[in-house]
């Protein structure tokens, strides 16, 4: 697995895939994509680099605590349940507001998108922490 070719490809793919995963996350409301797919995409490229370069090697330069990621995601997702309350909707109802920002144009603000970001973090965090723990286990 650790040939020069895989290393090179992984290196080229890493930024592209991460950007793609973010675009999947943000596009999810209207186009194919969403927090879950984006999260799995992110997790798989990091997993790939773990496999190709070795866990220890990657951890030297990049070693976030994935447990915090899923913790944060879960809290964020749970909190969005309340996001619609100030707009006069019920608990967990998605609030839709359309903002008109000069130069950028109309942007749709949906509280469900925040929820999706929570899902994104939970998926990344839980998958990679499982991955890392199983991988580190001797």
Residues lying near other proteins in the complex (CB under 8 A): 24, 28-37, 40-41, 43-44, 47-48, 51, 66-67, 70-71, 73-74, 77-78, 81, 90-92, 94, 96, 108, 110, 112-113, 115-116, 118-119, 122-123, 125-127, 129-131, 133-135, 137
Instruction: Please give the Cα distance from 36 to 120 (Å, whole number).
Output: 6
Residue 134 CB, shortest distance to other proteins, in Å, is: 5
Nearer to other proteins, 6 or 94 (CB): 94
Residue whose CB is less far from other proteins, 98 or 101? 98
81, burial (CB in 10 Å: exposed 0-12, middle 13-18, buried 19+):
middle
- Tell me the closest approach of the beta carbon of residue 89 to other proteins, in angstroms: 10
- Which one, of 32, 29, 47, lies nearest residue 117 by Cα? 29
In angstroms, give the least distance from the CB of 65 to other proteins. Answer: 12
> 50 and 7 in contact (C-beta within 8 Å)?
no
Two tokens, residue 106: 């109309």
**Residue 101: beta bridge partners?**
105
Nearer to other proteins, 18 or 96 (CB): 96
Q: Report in angstroms how near the CB of residue 58 gets to other proteins at its nearest.
A: 14
Which of 5/68 has CB closer to other proteins?
68
What is the full DSSP assignment across 5-46? Answer: HHHHHHHHHHHHHHHHHHHHHHHTTTSS--HHHHHHHHHHHH
């Amino acid at each position: 697995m650790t040939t020069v070719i895989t290393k090179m490809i992984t290196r080229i793919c890493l930024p592209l895939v991460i950007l793609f995963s973010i675009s999947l996350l943000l596009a999810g409301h209207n186009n194919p994509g969403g927090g879950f797919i984006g999260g799995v995409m992110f997790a798989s490229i990091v997993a790939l680099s773990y496999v190709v370069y070795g866990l220890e090697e990657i951890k030297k330069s990049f070693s976030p605590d994935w447990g915090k990621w899923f913790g944060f995601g879960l809290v964020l997702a749970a909190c969005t349940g309340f996001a619609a309350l100030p707009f006069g909707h019920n608990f967990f109802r998605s609030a839709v507001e359309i903002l008109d920002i000069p130069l950028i144009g109309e942007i749709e603000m949906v509280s469900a998108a925040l929820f999706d970001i929570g899902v994104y973090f939970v998926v990344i965090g839980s998958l990679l922490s499982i991955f890392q723990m199983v991988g580190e286990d001797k």
